[in-house]
Amino acid sequence: MIKFGFKIKTRGGTVVDNLMIAARDRDDAERKVTQIYHHCEILDCHEVQPQVNEETLDLERAINLINRESDQGPPAKD
């Protein structure tokens, strides 16, 4: 699923900015918005790119961490 950011104007005239909708494509996202906000006007729509967090643990780092722990063996018993 892709996230889309919307700026809409409700039928009451209120502007809603940064409305996030997850959908398969833009048409599906717009359909969902109009189901939630009947008779709204879509002012802007853009695809939201996922933010990459440097602290995210990727698969290779996870495997390396597990291997390091395996090499050390079990903790010594007193």
pLDDT digits (tens, 9 = 90+) for 5-61: 999 999 999 999 999 999 999 999 999 999 999 999 999 999 998 776 656 556 777
pLDDT confidence of residue 59: 74
* Residue 4: exposure state from Cβ atoms within 10 A (0-12, 13-18, ≥19): buried
pLDDT confidence of residue 50: 77
Residue type present at position 15: V
pLDDT confidence of residue 43: 97
**Tokens standing for 30?**
């717009």
Confidence of residue 67 (pLDDT cuts 50, 70, 90): confident
User: Which strands, in side-by-side order, build the sheet including 15-23?
Assistant: 15-23, 2-9, 41-48
Domain map (residue ranges) of the chain: 1-48
